[in-house]
Structure 1
Amino acid sequence: GAPGAADRRFRPPTHLRSVSPWAYRISYDPTRYPKYLPEAYCLCRGCLTGPFGEEDLRFRSTPVLMPTVVLRRTAACAGGRYLYAEDYVAVAVGCTCVPEQAKDAESLNSSLDKQGAKLLLEANDQPTTP
């Protein structure tokens, strides 16, 4: 086989090798499509940046949020079927490490409200004109 192939086979996944490791849980909402949505959560308060990989509380593990479109069931019903409307949610997709004193980094990330997420997603959906 290729050199290093055996090493890669036993290597833990990125989300566990990170200095800000995370795991996944499944969010369930019966009024949302999809009903089940994986979301990341940080495993440490600090970051594993010490010389031997120990936790350093001068840094903070913080979720990385991604704007995501879901369908939300409305109260309306047409022809015996529920009607759904687009909704924009911020889903945690991983964790990153920030200095503890950098309070702005989290506030910028968490300020990604529905309107901001909608604008970001709509901007990416626009066709480019030559």
Structure 2
Amino acid sequence: MLWAIRAVLALGLLMASHSARKGRRVLVELERGISQRERFFSISSSRSANMSLSPWTYRDTFDLSRVPNRIFHAHCLTSGCLTVQNGEEDMSLEAKPIYYQFPVLRKVQKRQNGVNSGGRKRGRTFVFRLGIETVAVGCTCVKPSMVLQ
């Protein structure tokens, strides 16, 4: 799935840059609605977070200069892991976030000097740059790392 998203983003950026070189304007519309699949994913994700031995919650980040604008980051609720028997926190194991990298588009102002053909100052123009965002998607139990002295 991730490779498909990357391919679509790369193809769209390639087409946009090719059209821009020829002096054409490019309009990119992004659908803001939530599909049924995304709703199912968010519901099943929250169930997994509550059933895990290292439970987590999601924190929302919002950035107007990023596509997607809203990204949810997992935050571990315990420093240890819960036991299966009674659900108490076991400090012999550590709850650690699981990180995942995925592509985002960043809106960046394009530098323009001078005036346009009508003698007026040029308006601000923006370009989208492909970037990578590292996001915590959940938490897992790990053995604590020990440093021998």
Q: Shared topology, TM-score over 0.5? A: yes
Structure 2 CA distance for partners of 1:39 and 1:20, relative to 1, 3 Å: same
The alpha carbon displacement at 1:49 in A equals: 2.2
Q: State the distance in 2 between where 1:36 and 1:47 align.
A: 29
- The separation in 2 between residues aligned to 1:97 and 1:42, in whole angstroms, is 10
The yes-or-no answer on 1:55 pairing with 2:78 is no
Q: Distance in 2 between matches of 1:94 and 1:40?
A: 5
In the alignment, structure 1 residue 39 sits paired with structure 2 residue 83 = no
- Alpha carbons of 1:87 and 1:59: their partners in 2 closer, same or farther (altered >3 Å)? same
Deviation at 1:87, TM superposition (A): 0.6
Q: Which deviates more, 20-29 or 77-86?
A: 77-86
How many angstroms apart in 1 are the aligned matches of 2:107 and 2:81? 39
Residue 86 of structure 1: aligned partner: 130
| Separation of aligned partners in 1, 2:50 and 2:111 | 44
| Distance in 1 (alpha carbons) for counterparts of 2:143 and 2:83 | 11
Are the counterparts in 2 of residues 31 and 72 from structure 1 also a CA contact under 8 Å?
yes
Q: Report the equivalent of 2:119.
A: none
User: Is 1:75 aligned to residue 109 of structure 2?
Assistant: yes
Correspondence for 2:99 among 65, 68, 71: 65
Q: Distance in 1 between matches of 2:72 and 2:146?
A: 28
Task: Report the TM-score, using the length of structure 1 for normalisation.
Answer: 0.62
Q: In terms of mean alpha carbon deviation, does 14-23 or 47-56 score higher?
A: 47-56
Establish whether residue 96 from structure 1 lines up as the match of residue 96 from structure 2.
no
Q: How many residues align?
A: 92
Deviation of 1:29 after TM superposition, in Å, equals 1.7
**Identity of aligned pairs, percent?**
36
Gaps of 5+ in 1: 1-11, 104-130
Quick one: structure 1 residues 36 and 102, their matched pair in 2 at CA, closer, same or farther if it must change by over 3 Å?
Answer: farther
| Cα distance per residue 1:23-71 (max 9 Å; x no partner) | 1111112221111111111111111026311001111111111111001
Whole-Å separation in 1 of the counterparts to 2:62 and 2:146: 32
Q: Tell me the TM-score normalized by structure 2.
A: 0.55
2: CA distance, partners of 1:50 / 1:63: 20
Q: Which has the larger radius of gyration?
A: 2
- What is the RMSD computed on CA atoms of the aligned residues? 2.2
Shift of 1:14: 1.5
How many angstroms apart in 1 are the aligned matches of 2:146 and 2:137? 21
Q: 1:17 to 1:59 in 2, by over 3 A?
A: same
